[in-house]
Structure 1
Amino acid sequence: MRILYCLCLAFLWLSPVWAQPLPLLPYPKQLELQQGEFVFTDQLKVQLPTGQPELKTAVKRFIQQSHVKTRLDFTKNDKAQLLIQLNATTTATARQMETYQLEVSNNQIRLSALHATGIKRGLQTLQQLIKQQANRTVVPALRIDDEPRFSWRGLLLDPARRFLPLTDIKRQLDLMAAVKLNVLHLHLTDDQGWRFESKVFPKLQQVGGKDGYYTQDELKELVSYAKERGIRVVPEIDVPGHTTALGLAYPHLMTAPAPTDAEIHWGVHAAVLDPSNEQVYPFLQQLLTELAQVFPDPYVHIGGDEVLSDRWDQNNEVQAFMQQHQLADAGALQAYFNRRVEQILKSLGKTMIGWDEVLDDQLPSSVVVQSWRGTESLFQAAEKGHPAILSTGFYLDQPQTAAYHYRNDPLPDSVSAPERDQITSWSGWNFQFERKRGSPVSGSLYVLQLKSGQQQAFIQFPGKMLIKAKAVQVKAGHTNFQFDSWMGPVKASLQLNDTVQGKFVVGNAPYQLTGQAIASTQQSSLPLDAHRQLSTEAQQQVLGGEIALWGELITPELIDIRLWPNGFAVAERLWSPKSRNDEQDFYQRMELVQLWAQDFIGLQSQQQQIQGFKQLVPASHLADLLTLAETLEPAHYYHRLHEKSVAGLYHQQAPLNQLVDFLPAEHQALRQFEQDLELWLVQKKPQQLSQLHTKLRHWQQAAQRLAKTPKIAATPLFHQIAELCQAGLDISNSIAAHQPLSVAERQQITQQTEAAAAIQQEMIIALHRAITTLLQATAPVHN
């Protein structure tokens, strides 16, 4: 694999087309490529600033991870080949602490920063630049001036639901450091588990940590490991909801009835602390004091999300307490609880973070609000003066394309409808679609005809910001468009008359829409509000964003597949300038950085997939399954969890050892095939067609061989893939020969693509998209 990475890198650097951008991720704020290169010798003289022993460790780790064959000579000689300068200041902001300048010439590498953290960031960039060329190790001559766009670039890991060994967490810390993520958020407690050792309340881990918990010494060592890499660790103790594990250990703290059995099912559960019980607060004081002694970070997360109020509403003592304290409803009771906890944390010198449900008018402005329900709550928090963090759109436990995460921005551009004098006509519809779990999703759609001849479409979900659709096409009674939502990317294909009929493909799987016309040009004014834009002051409150990797579908054997490489997309979005938004450029760099991370940092995505596939097929068919996996995707968004819910598998004991579990969210090979197909449809070159056919036959033959292998649950999918490949061969031949398909042939292939687009075993056959594109490029003959 290392040879493949070095060959790819050498090709890019030798090609003048690829001189810029370099295969860096996240990409620096400013980069100037110059003539020449620095060549590593068998001895590297390094000059470090005095009084910074951690930088010596960082340089040693940089050399070790880079596999540079050189001996380090730490010297005070000004002629050092690697010169590290620290222009220390006591007034640097969080962002300035990570700023660095990197200059590479033929004779020297000079790395300077205001803080040791900036040096660590610069070393990571330098490591990505190293390449092997013949028998030499070189870095291109250049100058980089770099700083992060946002100060909070986090990753939430969830060992509460499924325990994660420390070795796996440390590997993620190495990968985080490699792409300049700087906050590890540890979700340590939930209904299904308690992972923090309390020496004051040992029943917590005795009851909630039977399948694993972290001792305080282990966590202190993890904090130290993270600090060496320039990463902070923020703990989360989730209260007052998500507390089944806590309630099993200390039932007297719960609103009756307290839980009596360990919770294995996912979802939101009734167990909740009793805010009217004064014993709760000394308990939290002692527990959070222990937590503060283990985690030195100034922030502590208290959760505060998804609190069901049923037991509060039905408890006479709680209701009497609410009347006594003039608390109007359950929301006011939780706000009271939050303020008590905030005061405890304040007494410990800590700043409270909570999920966006904690936001209320009396919440102290110092409390950080983390948005998981949408940009709307992020904006609301920032407008109220709270520091705010975005997680919506960065949920990597929900498979999505990397491009979707890459487009997601904590400070999105504003959206507004055209001026009235630009609109010729418009029509509106209400719509809804059912999900297999949870309430239906409803919204409104407005299609505008402009005087310029263009059509625009806008989508309004209740309580959400206005969304402007892209790629709007109105043709032959069908309206197609695309947009990004909190659920993921959406592709709409609708028939709009007095009713709405059609589908939203959310991620990669469809929902069927229904609805009714509600208004038009002749009936009323266009009811569209502009997308809110934050004031300059409020924008400063947005700290950044945080990846969420919830544990329902995550085990140590799968974590790298789920987290990377899509985590690279979030890392760049939160570090690099907003103007760096070319998705094609990002994908090209992402593929190289993924290979680099496998070779030099320890990324195990490919290794985990191979190990998983070995459990499913004989060794003689492993290569076939790896080949065929290129055509498959896990169902995106929450489709998988919804499927599990319907099947009675929405719980902790459901196995995660099926084909779908070892699939990445998307595959580079299929993405490249789709791009090559689009190019051939424009250029129609025989060599391009030959390459497409080679790939289709490669997939087809692998599918045919696998279909003959007994005891594989996915065998019906293999048959479908083989048939789809044949359809692709037939359609492309018909296009090349200018011989349209018959109506019957077209109908048969349409049925095949529709079947492939449906969720099967929590997967979809993603190849159907390319075959559909081919089908749309040819017209049928009429019998």
Structure 2
Amino acid sequence: MRLFIFLSFFFVYTFAIRPGPVIQASKGAVWPKPQQQEVSETYYLIRPHSFTFEAPVNIGCPSFLDDALTRYWTIIATSITSKLEETPEANFWELDDNFLGYLETLTITLLGECPNENILPELHDNENYTLTVDSEGAFLESETIWGVLRGLETFSQLIYAEQDTLMINTTKIVDFPRFPHRGFLLDTSRHFEPVRIILQMLDAMAYNKLNVFHWHITDDHSFPYKSRTYHELSDKGAYHPVSGVYEQSDVMKIIEYARVRGIRVIPEFDTPGHTRSWGVAHPELLTSCFTDNVANGELGPMDPTKDTTYDFINNLFTEIVDVFPDSYFHIGGDEVEFDCWKSNPDVSNFMKQNNFSTYEQLESYFIQHVVDILDNLSSKYLVWEEVFVNGVELPNSTVVHVWKDNGLSTLNNVIKAGKYGLYSSCWYLSVLHSGSDWDAFYKCEPGLLLHTEEEKKLLLGGEACMWGEYVNEFSVIPRVWPRASAVAERLWSDENVVDISDAQIRLEEHACRMNKRGIAAQPPNGPGMCF
């Protein structure tokens, strides 16, 4: 009997659960964490519909800035049904020595130039800003329009609800990104993602200060891009020629939506592998596979032996470079299976004629042709790590995208070879763990093996990657957010920002913040409720 009582007490004690949320969210904490921030207990209240932005005058992009101010005014105005629309009767805050009054204006100063309304975000843009809320008011300063955008996002996050009112503490922030390339990859081939989903992703990226949308637009399973040069690629290669394609107008809408949020759009048309969908309309582009020297009807990677293959790529990529304004183009180059090339007698003869002893040399021959095409188009390029590992001669301007296991070692080799590196090995959002797993992404440090300043400058940043095998329009957003937020902080904040406990309470607030803004981010830490 005594043993039973003891065991009963043990199990009750062991599995006792405290009521309330597992993690108590912060209030007015910024994500990603700023480089420098001082916060005090003094505060203002904000009456949303009387609050205004004081914008700089005589700049080259007034409409660009007005669009951003409208977005953020709407975010602030709709963040709560405030009781402060009219001046209230005396309340507790008016007896509080820390209460400074009502904040009516954020004054914005653009110290540099914004040349025109069509300004494009580029690699190495200056995104620095300072934000001050003190007894004199609120002030945002930046050299560039991109810094203004990042500062506006931070300002919107400083505002929090307290007893049906909006509050903001006095604070001083000096902020800038750790890395210039802070990306998110979305695969729209395995499952087609509607334009509205991509636009929501871009909103969420802006809320997390990510600045590169890597659009993995085609793959083996479908070719959803509606080419104006080769419309048959999507007519035959998409899941559906109407509802499963991105029209030119859709692409333009996505690029523009990203641009005004300071987000670059880098297209990826992976070659020579991952191109089976190309072959539905143009089977001559792909290599015929053989069994016992007889064509078996299967198609493999692109056929590297035909001049017509490169003519086709040149025509299509000329269009892509014209459609997508970013200076970079991701040409893929990963996971090229050599079995089909090995089986094809024409490929074998071609290799003999060109003194190729390995299939890596044949792959290099193909990639070199694609690189030459992009060079002639004055386009820079990114490649997956296999292109580097297989020994393709690449100019130092090439960005090598590292994604495989043992990525830190590969990244180190890329950097030591004088190439730019981009890291994703530990940031595959398609890899799932039970329960909350964002902390694994948060703990990943891409610069672990880099020691000198010269090496660190060659690491451009990284990307969180959402491959599309097992997500569609109904599941992809909660699968991505707030897990990608962990990557965003690692790429923006100082490398010494590693406190998981601090991150937990801020991410709890940030996930709810995204929910309020229409992003279906999943709970990051377990039971709780957003207010």
After superposing the two structures, state which structure 1 stretch, 145-154 or 325-334, moved more.
325-334
- Alpha-carbon distance in structure 2 between the residues aligned to 1:95 and 1:233: 15
Q: Which residue of 1 aligns with 2:154?
A: 125
Q: Which residue of 1 aligns with 2:45?
A: 39
- Alpha-carbon distance in structure 1 between the residues aligned to 2:445 and 2:114: 31
Q: Which residue of 1 aligns with 2:118?
A: none
- Alpha-carbon distance in structure 2 between the residues aligned to 1:148 and 1:326: 48
Q: Secondary structure at the match of 2:173?
A: strand
* Cα separation, partners in 2 of 1:544 and 1:270, compared to 1, 3 Å: farther
Q: Is the 8 A contact 2:31 2:489 kept in 1?
A: yes
* Cα separation, partners in 2 of 1:199 and 1:90, compared to 1, 3 Å: closer
What does the per-residue CA deviation read over 1:618-650, in whole Å, with 9 as the maximum and x for residues that have no partner?
A: xxxxxxxxxxxxxxxxxxxxxxxxxxxxxxxxx
What does the per-residue CA deviation read over 1:62-81, in whole Å, with 9 as the maximum and x for residues that have no partner?
A: 0112225799xxxxxxx982
* Cα separation, partners in 2 of 1:534 and 1:323, compared to 1, 3 Å: farther
1:667 Cα deviation after fit: 4.9
- Alpha-carbon distance in structure 1 between the residues aligned to 2:237 and 2:472: 18
Alignment of 1:70-85 (within 5 A): 81-85=105-109
- Alpha-carbon distance in structure 1 between the residues aligned to 2:168 and 2:361: 59
2:112 pairs with 1:88: yes
- Alpha-carbon distance in structure 2 between the residues aligned to 1:280 and 1:95: 35
Alignment of 1:481-492 (within 5 A): none
Of residues 403, 410, 420 in structure 2, which corresponds to 1:372? 403
What letter is aligned with 2:382? I
Q: Which residue of 1 aligns with 2:520?
A: 604
What does the per-residue CA deviation read over 1:390-424, in whole Å, with 9 as the maximum and x for residues that have no partner?
A: 01000011114111101101101x5xxxxxxxxxx
What letter is aligned with 2:262? G
Q: Is the 8 A contact 2:46 2:104 kept in 1?
A: no
Q: Which residue of 2 aligns with 1:57?
A: 67
What does the per-residue CA deviation read over 1:46-87, in whole Å, with 9 as the maximum and x for residues that have no partner?
A: 32223232111111100112225799xxxxxxx982211111
Of residues 585, 597, 612 in structure 1, which corresponds to 2:502? 585
2:400 pairs with 1:391: no
Of residues 22, 25, 35 in structure 2, which corresponds to 1:29? 35
Question: Structure 1: where are the runs of 5+ without partners?
Answer: 14-21, 72-78, 259-268, 415-532, 607-663, 671-783
- Alpha-carbon distance in structure 2 between the residues aligned to 1:25 and 1:362: 40
Q: Is the 8 A contact 1:379 1:534 kept in 2?
A: no
Q: Is the 8 A contact 1:394 1:546 kept in 2?
A: yes
Q: Secondary structure at the match of 1:190?
A: coil
Q: Secondary structure at the match of 1:668?
A: coil
What does the per-residue CA deviation read over 1:496-522, in whole Å, with 9 as the maximum and x for residues that have no partner?
A: xxxxxxxxxxxxxxxxxxxxxxxxxxx
What does the per-residue CA deviation read over 1:581-624, in whole Å, with 9 as the maximum and x for residues that have no partner?
A: 0111111111111111101x211145xxxxxxxxxxxxxxxxxx
Q: Which residue of 2 aligns with 1:254?
A: 286
1:189 Cα deviation after fit: 1.0
What does the per-residue CA deviation read over 1:130-189, in whole Å, with 9 as the maximum and x for residues that have no partner?
A: 123345422111110000111111110011110000101110110110010111111111
Q: Is the 8 A contact 1:354 1:367 kept in 2?
A: yes
Q: Which residue of 1 aligns with 2:345?
A: 316
- Alpha-carbon distance in structure 1 between the residues aligned to 2:332 and 2:164: 53
Q: Which residue of 2 aligns with 1:409?
A: 445
Q: Secondary structure at the match of 1:255?
A: strand
Q: Secondary structure at the match of 2:307?
A: coil
Q: Is the 8 A contact 1:38 1:105 kept in 2?
A: no
Q: Is the 8 A contact 1:270 1:310 kept in 2?
A: no
What letter is aligned with 1:559? V
1:314 Cα deviation after fit: 2.1
1:547 Cα deviation after fit: 0.5
Alignment of 1:268-417 (within 5 A): 271-359=300-388, 360=391, 362-373=393-404, 374-400=407-433, 401-412=437-448, 414=449
Q: Which residue of 2 aligns with 1:166?
A: 195
Q: Which has the larger radius of gyration?
A: 1
2:254 pairs with 1:222: yes
- Alpha-carbon distance in structure 1 between the residues aligned to 2:156 and 2:105: 15
What does the per-residue CA deviation read over 1:638-677, in whole Å, with 9 as the maximum and x for residues that have no partner?
A: xxxxxxxxxxxxxxxxxxxxxxxxxx8x75239xxxxxxx
Q: Secondary structure at the match of 1:217?
A: helix
Q: Which residue of 2 aligns with 1:191?
A: 220
Q: Which residue of 2 aligns with 1:668?
A: 526
> How many residues end up aligned between the 2 structures?
462
Q: Is the 8 A contact 1:131 1:139 kept in 2?
A: yes
* Cα separation, partners in 2 of 1:604 and 1:406, compared to 1, 3 Å: same
1:548 Cα deviation after fit: 0.6
- Alpha-carbon distance in structure 1 between the residues aligned to 2:361 and 2:341: 12
Question: Structure 2: where are the runs of 5+ without partners?
Answer: 1-19, 86-102, 116-120, 291-297
What does the per-residue CA deviation read over 1:544-591, in whole Å, with 9 as the maximum and x for residues that have no partner?
A: 010010001111110122101111111101100010101111111111
What letter is aligned with 2:471? I
1:270 Cα deviation after fit: 6.3
- Alpha-carbon distance in structure 2 between the residues aligned to 1:158 and 1:32: 40
1:117 Cα deviation after fit: 0.9
> RCO higher in 1 or 2 (8 Å CA, sep ≥ 6)?
2
Q: Secondary structure at the match of 1:553?
A: coil
What letter is aligned with 1:217? S
Q: Is the 8 A contact 1:101 1:112 kept in 2?
A: yes
Of residues 46, 68, 77 in structure 2, which corresponds to 1:67? 77
Q: Is the 8 A contact 2:225 2:247 kept in 1?
A: yes
2:479 pairs with 1:562: yes
1:323 Cα deviation after fit: 2.6
Q: Which residue of 1 aligns with 2:96?
A: none
1:272 Cα deviation after fit: 0.5
1:313 Cα deviation after fit: 1.7
Q: Which residue of 2 aligns with 1:237?
A: 269
Q: Which residue of 1 aligns with 2:89?
A: none
Alignment of 1:145-160 (within 5 A): 145-160=174-189
* Cα separation, partners in 2 of 1:361 and 1:335, compared to 1, 3 Å: closer
Give the RMSD, CA atoms, in angstroms. 2.7
- Alpha-carbon distance in structure 1 between the residues aligned to 2:475 and 2:362: 40
* Cα separation, partners in 2 of 1:139 and 1:232, compared to 1, 3 Å: same
Q: Is the 8 A contact 1:95 1:148 kept in 2?
A: no
Q: Secondary structure at the match of 2:414?
A: helix
- Alpha-carbon distance in structure 2 between the residues aligned to 1:114 and 1:286: 40
Q: Is the 8 A contact 2:400 2:422 kept in 1?
A: yes
What does the per-residue CA deviation read over 1:248-270, in whole Å, with 9 as the maximum and x for residues that have no partner?
A: 21011111149xxxxxxxxxx96
Q: Is the 8 A contact 2:122 2:326 kept in 1?
A: no
What letter is aligned with 1:48? A
What letter is aligned with 1:232? R
What letter is aligned with 1:327? F
Scaled by the length of structure 1, the TM-score of the pair is 0.56
Q: Is the 8 A contact 1:39 1:106 kept in 2?
A: no
Q: Percent identity?
A: 33
Q: Is the 8 A contact 1:157 1:186 kept in 2?
A: yes
Q: Which residue of 1 aligns with 2:17?
A: none
- Alpha-carbon distance in structure 2 between the residues aligned to 1:94 and 1:314: 42
1:335 Cα deviation after fit: 1.0
- Alpha-carbon distance in structure 2 between the residues aligned to 1:157 and 1:83: 36
Q: Is the 8 A contact 2:289 2:344 kept in 1?
A: no
- Alpha-carbon distance in structure 2 between the residues aligned to 1:570 and 1:65: 24
